Amino acid sequence: MNKLVIFDLDGTLLNTIADLAAGVNHTLAAHDLPQHTIDEYTLMVGNGMRKLIMRALPGELAADDAFVDSMLAEFLNYYADHIDVHTKPYPGVPELISTLSAQGYKLAVASNKIQAGAEKLIQKFFPDTDFVAVMGNSPLYPLKPDAALVEYIMDKAGTDRAHTVMVGDSGTDIQTARNAGIPVIAVSWGFRPRHELTIADFIADDTSQVIAGISAGGSLEINKE
């Protein structure tokens, strides 16, 4: 049985896309630059905030490191105050977290979101859950899909690879788990298209399937394509 469950945040536990889109569009609008739809932003997120800004900018501006840095700073300043305007847990996720915690699993978050933002959202939406670690974008560790965050969390939890599973919604999360040598459950309700998830150990379409997969220790195939 897996003892440690490491969750991605955006697109897995919380639907954050509307606030991310609003923040980036606010920053773009301040410079009279083209804005994007929420659907377009679902394909831009997942590799950290700087990559998000780069993907939202026209090509020539995305190649200007100084301009990207300036836009990123403006975005983060706005987003810090508007991070939870539209953000909310996906259906069944609060109950999923409560159930796993009650069953004795250690829980953690490994995200490419800014550290302060990840901590703020977890505290707001899961205030009664004692997470082993909530890890976001930090100068101490490289972004996912590098396995450093996962390895740090396993070490902090005192749990080995044989007793750890990752849950995420993207190819980045799947590759992170592969790099760490742990099984991965991909959830289909997040930001990425289903075809990106087929390389996961299995796909869960609702939170009950996540629980079943975790209980099976990564060996149960659910909706695997």
Catalytic residue among 8, 10, 19, 201: 8
Mean pLDDT of 185-191: 97
**8 annotated active-site:** yes
Residue 219 has pLDDT above 70, yes or no: no
For residue 130, the model assigns a pLDDT of 96
- The 10s digit of each residue's pLDDT in 46-88 is 899 999 999 999 999 999 999 999 999 999 999 999 999 999 9
pLDDT of residue 2: 66
- Please give the domain boundaries of the chain with CATH numbers for all domains: 4-15+88-215 (3.40.50.1000), 17-81 (1.10.150)
CA-nearest of 43, 52, 36, 42 to 16 is 42
Q: For residues 176 and 147, is the Cβ–Cβ distance under 8 A?
A: yes
CA separation for the pair 223, 131 (Å, rounded): 29
A 10 A CB-CB count for 198 gives 14
Q: How many CA atoms lie within 13 A of 19 on its CB side?
A: 21
